[in-house]
Structure 1
């Protein structure tokens, strides 16, 4: 029999939930006690009780938050040690709390605060709500995509033997975690206008879509999340979902699920492939939305900044762990998965200070914990951080691109994740200005990707690049001075620490640069450069145009022209406020004119400031766009010829040059008037 969770109720005797202060007795150690507003989160029954109570005190503009672990001391009575305090702790001298639920309906509570064995203050509370916080979800769906918003928990035979059979919805998952979930009336199917066959989304398009969506709301933190169900990311099959950390002034308020990615393909010979796919899509949505509540991955609890010292747990059966990453893979995960969050995650969701959890407040992965790198004395790998230029001096306004090189320095083949150098979620990147505080580079967007393994032979290397100047907190490298950059990647058995890379940012050469810097070093420009362009942040585009026009011979012009040109190279999707996806056609001639001085005429300057990897990437995108949309393969061939010449002169590895030659040959075989799709 299938049961359906149609109610908003959580099970239990109804004591758990939020309580509000009604009166107090005793004032020792607490001035202004009559002015305090106080709430309790009592968590002793109902869904997965944590036997915890937390409280928030507000006195004018001062706030204090505390948490205690409880033990029963009688019927409907508990006592516990207050082990966590946050805020103005001078208001709160207590270290023990005793709670007794009273009355026939248990809707009143007597709370005694103590210092040691001495009771100092008694407070009386009344029960308000069975949930700890309210939250609103809005689901929008790309035309032609069917989102999975609920599943039959027994539809696939691989499940725990004691798992109840029910129709479980996303809303039910979060209600059981303690949230009063409501659905927005704005849920809609988003039509695609003029998209043709190109229904893949770039980071820039997704970023612009979320910018437009959240522009309809106030720039204040709110308990609300937008979930967009789309077809595919431009990276294709391996990318299942993303969460944007910073949309304007909003944090953790938007996520996208890509239904046609790897989550849509069941393993061969699976007994219930349709149920497998629905279950995977459902898990993906709950997982990505969990990031919106500031939950880290199960193996990342010890990264970030501390709120409580949490331990990593790579084997936990939680929405926040990857099913394909545990021992035994997906079958082993779902054999013991009860469609819930772990106890540590529930502790965070229900009892962390509200600003840590609420959308629009703390950045993703903030306030979760940080540990020393687990480096080995004789590492299997060597991580090199470098720049492909004559000196480590950067012009004023010039963004900093660095290259990562991972080498297998052991005598044996090593298995690594294919995206080990591209997945910033598994890295710690530190940028420190001389004389200033170290800052961690955190990305604007987080990916749910299929884990693909790769064998790295002895002496073999992998490469990737990092745009080191900006992160989700804005500019990390801007002012003149010396900066240290260092990276650690977190592998399964060890952390690999890079060398320390020192760079210098030169002062402005004239008043023009100094004047332009006031607009250039903005959060909007930072996001535009990070995402390789935008069509929604027009003010940012205007700033980049001004920089390129007034500083044409400075290296920052290369970065500005690349960001302006990239959205023009392909059909670009924009989500309008009319909830219709409008597709603008590629503007190849305009893009080519923008990039001709930047990438072709000053090719060595471009390779110097972008780095060899990114220069290669942008030249490939330009040639592919010309070949696909302009019917002039000879133009694409000219781009590849220039790329080969430049990287040959810069003594790039022969294997890279051969890749360029192979692409040259492909374009040579195309006749005039043909295109590559």
Structure 2
């Protein structure tokens, strides 16, 4: 039986028996439920003579055990299939080339992937797992070189006690006896007439159009090896490669070459040559690649030379994989959550160009040429009963990644960690609506982890839907340094936006609910419109990045998020916005040595209309606000935070009742390290993406970073300037042992310089961290360090006292003060003093009333105070 969607063709060895819907054969014995009726990718025949007739149908990473005349015996993950799933090796859990039952027994399964195979004895374990050519039967050692793997299909037959398999590869087939070896190789019809009788749609080939090769330089003095990618899928061939030192494995350089169009069909061998673009300048810009085939057994010869052909280096490369890159993906999930499942495209009306198929995270990246190889099984993490609030701060997630990611290293590597947590906590301790975040928490080795938030997705009915799967893929795209569709012009260097300011991209990197369709075709906007046109793909530009981007620009631990090389020489101003909105940066204009730079953001009406739609997303870590920084030398770069938040910001109507939205951002430390490393004057500009897709540009806000005033000023400032201290300021503290030196520096600042105006920032970090439970992911589950309310109260009260002291200019900005006072109230409530908590909240409102803030702002602060009060009383 050959499956194609919901139809099946049955052949004998000599001809076609039948072709019809799967549910109609064998008198309706296979009236399967969806998605197996139309999306099955393989089936195992478990027929036991005179006992039962059973098949296991496989769709994605799930399977259905179906017994004729009885029905479903099991449905669920393949790894849970009784007597089979727990024995399935990690290597064979995705992208298997062929799977079949061994003839003569229904209880042995043969799996083939690449040049390897495994045999699983049901209920017993793995009987064999190695190269095809190393199997014990004599015939396997006789496999010809071009038929040693990479098969498109395989048929298990039986011949008088000798296992017999017909392998299909491209337009060739091989009749193979396990003991005697190949008996016939030729076209499908020549090897098995029944194959030749298959209808055309069942004979579509899976000819690979791309492949990865690896080899070393023939010239020993060059000490280089190359990972070479050859890609014939686009209009012109593309060759790219990464160069490493053989002796120590260090990365050296990357290149990409666009060749000239090839004649079709391709006549092998193929030579692709031309001038390549390199990540780092080199004299050997001429690249030539000769390849004989993109399949197992294929070889490629790479030559790099000067433009005139002199000083050549040649690399003999062997075929590695049809995938252009391979990533080991480790995933954990907290108790009471679960990892993402799969999606059958038959569950909804399909847009043109989308086949009936099963979509998984791995399948989406496989379509992009990226192998996302599961590193072990998903691990469930128990949570202690010790009062754990199921909200995770970015500090806790950062610490969990560094401790629990078994593949973690301070290095560039193709390793990624994901965790399914409950809910993200905002900086003020309240629950965030974020679906997921990508970690970018180390300025040297960023983009190594992602988190998705189960409860937040449950709130918006994403769980178990295509939106949940989309969210996982979206966050992993960020880890591979893909920006949101509508922020590509903020990449360093900038990239062009797609249709309608990027909101018209049919891409995993867009927001489904913010999609803007093509008005000429009346596609419509929003979630429904997006799913009516989305075909589960990245854009061509995103594919180019994933498949051929320079190593450091793509690999985890490489360059910071949204950074691809050179500084921005200039960023052209966008077209004038007609959104009716105005954005402004404000705050202190002078900062001392080491002082954290914070800006306040105000979004308001511009006076052109009485009301306008806005998005309440005013943080550079979100998706609607970018802060551009021009340094004293005139170089422009966007501020990149260390955490990217993908959530569901609310739409707000600005009018007379709500004339403005306010935010605050610490921008002193980001994904690229410290933002203001040298004294001087910096120019800040905010760019806000309005709901209509236009960009609102703020007036320039100038700040001056001053040199140390004296030795004491230098000593205090230096204690805030380490990368760990920068991370702690962003995360509002952390228990992570990897940040111990940073915490020690903050303690020293408080102890040695208690009266210095910078001590308030150390107190704020220490007080915020002490005032919350801290969740630590260990080998035994999640351990909870309960809140230290005494320390929190002492430190936060000192921050409030310093800020409100009229005799000094020290202290935090208004928005941070609001957050700090609400944190202080929570600390008092945790300590059992609700009366004092209420007093702090009353003081909060009185403080801002005395500051004569605008009435709508005061009303918002009063609402925040009352919401916090209600929450604390309810919890108590």
TM-score category (smaller protein): 0.7 to 0.9
Residue 444 to residue 112, structure 1, CA distance change in 2 (3 Å): closer
User: Which structure would you say has the larger RCO, counting Cα contacts within 8 Å and 6 or more residues apart?
Assistant: 1
Tell whether 2:647 aligns with 1:449.
Answer: yes
Instruction: Provide the rounded CA distance (Å) in 2 between the counterparts of 1:134 and 1:622.
Output: 47
| Greater Cα radius of gyration, structure 1 or 2 | 2
Question: Aligned residue pairs: how many?
Answer: 652
Answer yes or no: is the 8 Å Cα contact 1:401–1:609 preserved in 2: no
Equivalent residue for 2:531?
334
Tell whether 2:826 aligns with 1:638.
Answer: no
Tell whether 2:345 aligns with 1:153.
Answer: yes
Answer yes or no: is the 8 Å Cα contact 2:797–2:824 preserved in 1: no
Instruction: Provide the rounded CA distance (Å) in 2 between the counterparts of 1:359 and 1:222.
Output: 6
TM-superposition CA deviations, 1:350-405 (whole Å, max 9, x none) = 11111111100111111189752314187733222111x6xx33333321221111
Tell whether 2:211 aligns with 1:17.
Answer: yes
Tell whether 2:602 aligns with 1:402.
Answer: no
Residue 518 to residue 621, structure 1, CA distance change in 2 (3 Å): closer
Equivalent residue for 1:359?
556
Tell whether 2:616 aligns with 1:418.
Answer: yes
TM-score (norm: length of structure 1)? 0.85
Equivalent residue for 2:95?
7
Instruction: Provide the rounded CA distance (Å) in 2 between the counterparts of 1:104 and 1:179.
Output: 16
Equivalent residue for 1:462?
661
User: In terms of mean alpha carbon deviation, does 307-316 or 360-369 score higher?
Assistant: 307-316
TM-score (norm: length of structure 2)? 0.67
Answer yes or no: is the 8 Å Cα contact 2:414–2:556 preserved in 1: yes
User: In terms of mean alpha carbon deviation, does 538-547 or 57-66 score higher?
Assistant: 57-66
Answer yes or no: is the 8 Å Cα contact 2:236–2:261 preserved in 1: no
**Alignment of structure 1 residues 495-506 onto 2, 5 Å:** 495-506=695-706
**Alignment of structure 1 residues 471-490 onto 2, 5 Å:** 471-477=670-676, 479-490=678-689
Q: Secondary structure at the match of 1:246?
A: coil
Instruction: Provide the rounded CA distance (Å) in 1 between the counterparts of 2:375 and 2:766.
Output: 35
Equivalent residue for 2:127?
none
Tell whether 2:326 aligns with 1:139.
Answer: no
User: In terms of mean alpha carbon deviation, does 364-373 or 128-137 score higher?
Assistant: 364-373
Q: Secondary structure at the match of 2:761?
A: helix
Deviation at 1:533, TM superposition (A): 1.1
Q: Secondary structure at the match of 1:250?
A: coil
Answer yes or no: is the 8 Å Cα contact 1:402–1:468 preserved in 2: yes
TM-superposition CA deviations, 1:204-256 (whole Å, max 9, x none) = 22222223235873311111100100121125462100111124743111100
Match of 1:373 among 548, 568, 573: 573
Match of 1:314 among 485, 490, 503: 503
Equivalent residue for 2:735?
535
TM-superposition CA deviations, 1:613-638 (whole Å, max 9, x none) = 111121122213423x2332221132
TM-superposition CA deviations, 1:484-537 (whole Å, max 9, x none) = 322222334432222222223344344233234444311110010111111112
Tell whether 2:412 aligns with 1:226.
Answer: no
Instruction: Provide the rounded CA distance (Å) in 2 between the counterparts of 1:298 and 1:254.
Output: 21
Match of 1:66 among 245, 251, 256: 256
Match of 1:242 among 428, 433, 437: 437
Instruction: Provide the rounded CA distance (Å) in 2 between the counterparts of 1:22 and 1:542.
Output: 46
Match of 2:364 among 164, 173, 177: 173
Equivalent residue for 2:8?
none
TM-superposition CA deviations, 1:70-96 (whole Å, max 9, x none) = 42225425677857502455433448x
User: In terms of mean alpha carbon deviation, does 558-567 or 512-521 score higher?
Assistant: 512-521
Deviation at 1:463, TM superposition (A): 1.2
Equivalent residue for 1:586?
787
Deviation at 1:456, TM superposition (A): 1.6
Instruction: Provide the rounded CA distance (Å) in 2 between the counterparts of 1:82 and 1:495.
Output: 40
In structure 2, stretches of 5+ residues that fail to align are 1-37, 42-58, 61-93, 98-149, 153-205, 517-524
Residue 333 to residue 173, structure 1, CA distance change in 2 (3 Å): same
**Alignment of structure 1 residues 489-528 onto 2, 5 Å:** 489-491=688-690, 492-528=692-728
Aligned Cα root-mean-square deviation (Å): 3.8
User: In terms of mean alpha carbon deviation, does 633-642 or 372-381 score higher?
Assistant: 372-381
Deviation at 1:416, TM superposition (A): 1.7
Q: Secondary structure at the match of 1:189?
A: strand
Equivalent residue for 1:269?
none
